[in-house]
Every structure is written in structure tokens, then in C-alpha cells.
A and B are shown apart, each in its own frame.
Chain A
Amino acid sequence: MASTLVQLLRWRAENQPGKIAYTFLGNSGEDEVSLTYQELDRQARAIAARIQNSAAPRSRALLLYHSSIDYIQAFFGCVYADVIAVPTYPPRRNRPNAAFAAILKDSGAALVLTSGSMELDVSLARLETDQISGDEAKEWREPDVSPDSLAFLQYTSGSTGDPKGVMVSHANLLHNERMIQQAFGHTEDTIVAGWLPLFHDMGLIGNVLQSLYMGVRCILMPPVAFLQRPYRWLQAISRYKATTSGAPNFAYDLCARKVTDQQAASLDLSSWAVAFSGAEPVRAETLDLFATRFAPYGFRREAFYPCYGLAEATLLVSGGTHADAPALRSVNADALEQNFAMPASGDGDARTLVSCGWAWDTQRIAIVDSDSFRRCPEGHVGEIWVAGPSVAQGYWNRPELTEQTFHAHIQETSEGPFLRTGDLGFVQQGELFVTGRLKDMIVIRGRNYYPQDIERMVQESHPALAEGHGAAFSVERDGEERLVVAQEVKYTHRRNLNVAEVTGNIREAVAEQFGLDVLAVVLLKSGGVQRTSSGKIQRRTCRANFLANRLDLFEAGTPVHAFSASDSVS
């Protein structure tokens, strides 16, 4: 059994040389380009030979590519040279973006691997890997790679000023691939298809490396091909009879809304056995919408596979039984605010949660009180902690943060080390339910409020308020945590807005639903709420901007909060 990616690809190239490893579809979803294991191995050796000429083992190499076969070859070129690959966000047009510079600096990269078409203005050595001839493969010298060697750094999406590179070893990867195989029920008959970005853990580990691990075919298309016409994703599954294909929740939603009847009529989705959904909360409404929309075209609800994972745990942490339909649980919303999962009863608000299954193989999950570090009883919400061979080696060059995040121990038993995920959830009858993020949690008078719940209620309070474009957070005033709501006004309602009516509605809704008074309601212009590239609300950035009076106000010059910023810093 292979213990490094080098051994794994070498083995496949030797034993299944002519088998197609990857098929790439172009931006239009057509134009396929395929690569066998032998071809991939040869090009990776040629690239590695060049890298070996200019960089020492274990130095870092940035990968700057559009989603393409070049990227996969360059990734394995790094692996074959024992140089740590650092995938970066694909550039818009042909230029790197701001995150690129931050990652470049943090990783201390020795060189940049890219393609000939990319414009790049850095002082580093640059290697255009698409210009390297496979004939150079014979120059390659096999490096001494051990399972503990780092294969790549996965930079997590966060603010660009504070990049964190997760150190993923060969052993981490192979363990996670084994877990994915077990959890997803993969066999040699599996066919993987997808459009997920390759610079990101879900696309790289879930699609590219899992296929290599299994020795099965993988069909890939650029993310933009999917976004331009969501139908292309389903079309690829149908055409190639893919069995495993997944994406975050929003993609299923988009398909249900955008695929036309005429397009759907040409689909046969009956081969689709594992439709994994991860990386953002899995919504029960979306599962229903998608399953109903595509059932006539062979989609089976049991194919849905909600799962939970994060880069710090390599990728997958938990998932259920691949053959079963997702398990839903309706819980009492009030009890959940008090960190306790209780079945919803006739009266009171209910919240439907989707089970993310359980840990596989030797991985373990613990639910822990984030203050006392004691284990939470069954059904109580706490921070999700993870232990096992998939937990990564820490953050690159961040020993203190690594210690805090990756080496936590449970109070009573000193059991550990655990990875603190920063996510909240509970376990009931062995199933994990993820309920939110620890850091954004609003705690007022000893009671927890999920900002997303408040935001939703705010947005429903007036038609002028943009759905998904608000941030609820708390600030301290006079020794007390108080609620602030920052909310974008829809562009379409920018004229003749009755500000008093809108703020009145917001205050009323929050008071009625949560029993909270709002210290400040801040109405913002369209685009005024900061979000990450993947669309997540950046509540902490919003909060900092609020305190510094830097928000893009709907009505410039109007006093928005009844106290000055200095009051709040006690």
C-alpha cells in the first residue's frame, strides 16, 4: 500500500499506464482533453526535474493556474520534487489578485509555477510548466519523501491580511482519502465528476486525489463553466455516467432554479449515487427542492450525502451512510439558543437540521464546552473537536496559533490532542449536527443567539432589505453586550426609502422574536456588508468597521448609533 502520493502515482503509472486518469472539459463544457496515468507521471517527472534544478527539497512553490490539466501536472511536479505545493486562488483574467501577494509572503515561496499565458509581476523564479517537454522526465531524481513530509499548504479563506496555511502531510492525505472511500462507498466502478475549484481542498482532495487513490476516472470542468450554465454540471454527470459528484449547498439551489425543462429533459441522472454537499450549511429546503425537481430525470434523494469537513482536518470529518437518504431533525429553536437540542413540539419555533453523519475510520469527534474544555453531554451544543490521523500538522510558521488550535486537550481526562474546529454542533444518537460558528456567536445575558437567525428575521421585516446581505453582531457598552444590526438596502429601494419605517420594522421584529433591543440599526448601501469570496458574511470585519465608523452608510452623514466609538471600548 502506498504511503506517499509519489508511490501512489508511480504505482498507477506502472500498473495502469493507459488508463484515463483525468478528463478536462473546457469553459463551454465540451472540448475534452484527457490524460492517462502514464502521461501524468511523465509530465510530473519532467516538471519535477526542472524544480529540482532551482529549488531545494521542502521549499515552497506557488501554483498559479486557471482550472486546467496544467494545474494537476504542476501539483504532481511539486510532489515528485518534494517541494511543498501552495495552490492559490485562480486569477481573474490573467493577473493574480490581492490574496496572492499575502500567500506569497507568508509561505516564503522559492518559485512560482504557472502557465505561459499568465501575466505575473513578481521577483521570484517563474516556471512555465506547460512549456516543459516530457522528454525531460529522464532527468528526474526520486526524492526521499516520507509519510510525514508536507505535500502542500492549504491556505484557508480568511481576510487577506491574515493568511493561514494549513500544513497537510502525505499521511494526512492518504488517511483522509481512505475515509472518503469508506464513507462515500467508493469502488473501482466509481466515476467522479465535478467543477469544484482545484486550488481548494474540496476539489483537490475530494475530486482529484480521491480519483487517483481509487484509480478511477475523474471528469473535471472549470467552476466558471458551471456558473455560466449550471446545466453543464448535470449534463457532465449524465453524459459520463458519473457516480460521485458534489458541491456546496448553493450549487444545488442554483440548478433547481436555473436548469430549464428543455435542458432537464435530456438528463439521465440515474448513475448518480453520491451527491455530496459540504463546505456550507446543508439546507433541508434545498434538498427537497433539488430532489423534487430532478426526480423525473433519475435523481434519487438517497444520493444526497451531507458531510462536514474543514481544511484543518485535511478535508472530510464526518458523513453518514452513503446509501441512505439524509437524516433530518426538527429541533426547538428556543432550546437550541440555550445550547440544547430538543425535539420541536407543536408550539414554538422549529429549526430543521441536516445530519452530517459520524466520523469514519480512526477519526474521533468530541463536543466540548469552549470555555471550560469539558465534554458536553449528548444533545448539548458545543465546539466540535476532532482527533485522528487526518488532523493536519498545524499552520505554517504560526507556532502559537497551531498550539491553540491543533493541540487542545479535554479538561477532565487530558485526552488529546484535538483540533478545535471553531464550529458548533451537537451529537445525538451518534450523528453530528452542525449548528453554527463559534466566533460569530452572539452571547447576550448568558443566552446564545445565532447571528444568521437574527439576520434572517431582520431581512424578512421589510421588502427593502436585501436577503443574505446583513450582519448581526454584538458590541460591549457599559459592561453589557448589546446587539447591532448592519443591513444593506436593496438597490431597487434606494429611492424614497422611509428610513424610520424600516428601522422601526427591524427593531420590532428583533424584539418580538428574540426579546432583544437593538443598540443600533445601521442601514448600508448595496454591497456595504463585507463578504468573503465564497459569499460568507464577514461579521467581525463588519463589527470592526462599525466601531471605527467606516461602514458605507445608506444615508451618509446621518448619525447611526447613539454613542461614539470610544464608548464601546472599555
Chain B
Amino acid sequence: MNASTQKQIGAAEIQDWLVTYLSKELSLSPDEVDVTTPFDRYGLSSMTAVLMTGEMEEWLGRTLDPTLPYDYPTIETLAQHLASQPASKKAVR
């Protein structure tokens, strides 16, 4: 298995986690959550965005910058960013 496959698997799992999280938070069905729609468009408050990073920390088992959703404002870009970080290889269970 090369590094790039690993990266893709990580991103997909993180993406699924984010879709589940947002669908619960916004009472949507998971297929209604679009991974390329910016968090702001969903009416996600900045407080909820920061809270989300906290729950991701718990899941990934590593610390995350609370401002990540500002820099990576969609599910897709955030998941890709997190998966591309070295620490993520082990963190995703």
C-alpha cells in the first residue's frame, strides 16, 4: 500500500464522519449534506464549527486547531487537509 492510497482512505472516512456530524447537527438526512457546500451556507454558527473540531479531536485522538473550518470551509477540503497531515495515518481508527 503506498502513501497516496492511505491518504485517500483517510479522507473518505473523515468525510463520512463530517457528513454524519452535520446531518445530526442540522437534522438533515446524510444524503442531503453536500460535501462541497461551505459550512456557512448551512447556517452553521462559528460556535458550532469550533465545537465540531473538539468532537473531531476526540474521534481522531489528536489535537486540532479550532479555526480549521475557517481555513478549510467545506467538508471535502477539511477532510482532505486532515488526511494529508502526517499524524493522521495512525489517528484514524
Interface residues of A (CB under 8 A from B): 27-28, 92-93, 224-225, 227-230, 258, 466, 469, 488, 490-492, 526-527, 535
Contacts and interface: CB of A to CB of B under 8 A. Distances in A.
A224 B66 contact: yes
A224 B52 CA distance: 12
16 contacts: A27-B66, A92-B67, A93-B71, A224-B67, A225-B66, A227-B66, A228-B51, A228-B54, A228-B66, A229-B54, A229-B57, A488-B43, A491-B26, A491-B41, A491-B43, A526-B41
Interface of B: 26-28, 32, 40-43, 45, 47, 50-51, 53-54, 57-58, 63, 65-67, 70-71
A229 B43 CA distance: 21
A92 B51 contact: no
Nearest to B49: A227
Contact of B42 (A28, A93, A491, A535): A491
Contacts of A228: 50-51, 53-54, 57, 66
Given A27-B66, A92-B70, A93-B67, A227 B42 contact: no
Contacts of B51: 227-228, 230, 258
Given A28-B63, A526-B43, A527-B40, 14 more contacts: A27-B65, A92-B70, A227-B51, A227-B54, A228-B50, A228-B53, A228-B54, A228-B57, A229-B57, A230-B51, A469-B43, A488-B43, A526-B41, A527-B43
Contacts of B32: 492
A224 B46 CA distance: 11
Contacts of A490: 43
Nearest to B26: A492
Nearest to B56: A228
Nearest to A258: B51
A225 B28 CA distance: 28
A157 to B, nearest CB: 15
Contacts of B66: 27, 224-225, 227-228
A469 B50 CA distance: 20
A71 B58 CA distance: 30
A527 B41 CA distance: 8
Nearest to B29: A492
Majority secondary structure, B binding face: helix
Contacts of A27: 63, 65-66
Contact of B47 (A227, A229, A492, A527): A227
Contacts of B54: 227-229
A229 B51 CA distance: 6
Nearest to A526: B43
A317 to B, nearest CB: 27
Given A258-B51, A527-B43, A492 B57 contact: no
A466 B67 contact: no
B27 A492 contact: yes
Contacts of A466: 43
A93 B58 CA distance: 23
Nearest to B50: A227
B75 to A, nearest CB: 15
Contacts of B70: 92-93
Nearest to A222: B66
A403 B16 CA distance: 59
Contacts of A258: 51
Contacts of A28: 63
B43 A224 contact: no
A490 B45 CA distance: 13
Contacts of A488: 43
Nearest to A493: B27
Nearest to B43: A526
Report which residue of A92, A93, A224 has the largest number of chain B beta carbons within 10 angstroms of its beta carbon: A224
A92 B57 CA distance: 20
A330 B41 CA distance: 40
A228 B42 CA distance: 19
Contacts of B40: 527
A147 B58 CA distance: 49
Contacts of A225: 66
Contacts of B27: 492
Contacts of A230: 51
B68 to A, nearest CB: 10
Contacts of B58: 229
B91 to A, nearest CB: 15
A284 B53 CA distance: 30
B37 to A, nearest CB: 10
A492 B23 CA distance: 10
A227 B52 CA distance: 10
A225 B64 CA distance: 11
A470 to B, nearest CB: 13
Contacts of B47: 227, 535
A466 B53 CA distance: 23
B5 to A, nearest CB: 31
Nearest to B58: A229
A230 B51 CA distance: 8
A488 B27 CA distance: 16
Contacts of A492: 26-28, 32
A230 B63 CA distance: 15
Contacts of B53: 228
Which 5 pairs from chain A and chain B are nearest by CB?
Answer: A526-B43, A228-B54, A229-B54, A227-B50, A491-B43
A230 B53 CA distance: 12
Nearest to B48: A227
